[in-house]
Amino acid sequence: MQGYGRMAPSSSSFQPSAGATALTASRNAHPTTRLDSFMKHTDPGFQNAEAPTQGDRFIRKMATYGQVRPSVSFISESRVARPMKETSAIDMSNLPQHAMDPRGDPREGTFEIPPPPEKVDDSFIAMYKNHSLMLPSERYKEHLKMKAGHQKWKEERDAVFRYRKRMQVLERKHPEGILGVDGPTHPDTILYRDRHEQLAQQAELKAQHAEGRFAHLHAQNVSDDAVAHRNFGTDPNWERSKDIAIQRKKVDPEAHPFRFLDTHERLFPKYTPVWDPERAAALRSHEVRDKKHNIVNGADNSMSYAVALPWEEIQRQAVEKRMAEIESRKMRSQSANEI
């Protein structure tokens, strides 16, 4: 009809907004997740400034949102590692700058903040509670004492407040020290004594950690000379198997002479012992498990391992005994002649 305006479009042609779509899609999600989805679909400040990429190849890009400018290091520096310079440091440090270190300036230690009294005197308050009868002159003298005590109390209290305030200003405004005068790195500092002790303890702990780290890294990276083929082919003048970095048996020519014999010495020994009492005692001790008694009747099972000596040894001992008797007889005859 021409007398009426334009008709409203039907509901079938209605296009929902991006925010409504985001809220509808995340209807059953957590409120935080719904808000994040809504902001990323509606607010340009939360939207990615880069267009989505297609394909199966990864492209290195910077994730920027809204009107965020790329950093200088991202657009100006390459992906190559930065070179190490003399002014660079491996780790960060909370020490004051080098200009605050002691340099022998004559002004060092001249600035000081006098400490306040240890205890503020408030003994004048007890005079207010004095209600006894007094003469006017006595009351006047007490009044003067109370007035002087109150004035002294105010001065001492102000000194405490001023000292605390000056120390706070010094710690907050000048935490690294006073140039050429005092600072935490000065060994004899009074104003920065607490900070100096903290830095000293920190340096000690850091030195202990560095020492332990060095020892650990050395133990992890060390290699034996035999494994690394150092001085290969040269004579190290060591004992046999000493250059091999493994657990080895005791190799001592005196304690184990049999291990150092060649084939001829083993087959044709120069001395073949017939009887060894010590070896016999050791073998019997192993057999009876070092028991000193008989396991059946409990009697003593000790045994003597002495055997007859060879005929040559018996003859030698007899000759020595005979010669000793002849010598003693001569000595007796000579003493008798002298008498």
Q: Measuring CA to CA, which residue among 170, 161, 210 is closest to residue 190?
A: 170
Say which DSSP state 51 is in: P
Tokens of 204: 């000690």
CB-CB contact of 32 with 26 (8 Å): no
- What is the distance between the terminal CA atoms of the chain, rounded to a whole angstrom? 183
Looking at residue 6, its pLDDT comes to 47
For residue 48, list its beta bridge partners. Answer: 65
The pLDDT mean for the chain works out to 79
**Burial (CB count <10 Å: 0-12, 13-18, 19+), residue 35:** middle
Which residue, among 88, 53, 47, 89, has the nearest Cα to 68 in the 3D structure? Answer: 47
**Distance from C-alpha of 34 to C-alpha of 24, rounded to nearest angstrom:** 9
pLDDT at 208: 94
Residue 148: partners with Cβ closer than 8 Å, 6 or more residues away: 124
- Provide the pLDDT for residue 3: 46
Contacts of 177 (CB under 8 A, 6+ apart): 96, 100, 183, 184, 185, 186, 192
Q: Which two tokens stand for residue 6?
A: 């334009």
**Rounded to the nearest 5°, which phi and psi values hold at 144?**
-65, -40
Q: pLDDT value at position 5?
A: 45
The conformation of residue 281, written as its DSSP 8-state character, comes to: H
pLDDT at 224: 79
Residues of the chain under the 70 pLDDT cut: 1-14, 44-45, 47-82, 88-90, 240-241, 243, 271-273, 339
Q: Which two tokens stand for residue 43?
A: 């607010």
Alpha helices for 30-135 (secondary structure H): 31-42, 72-76, 125-128
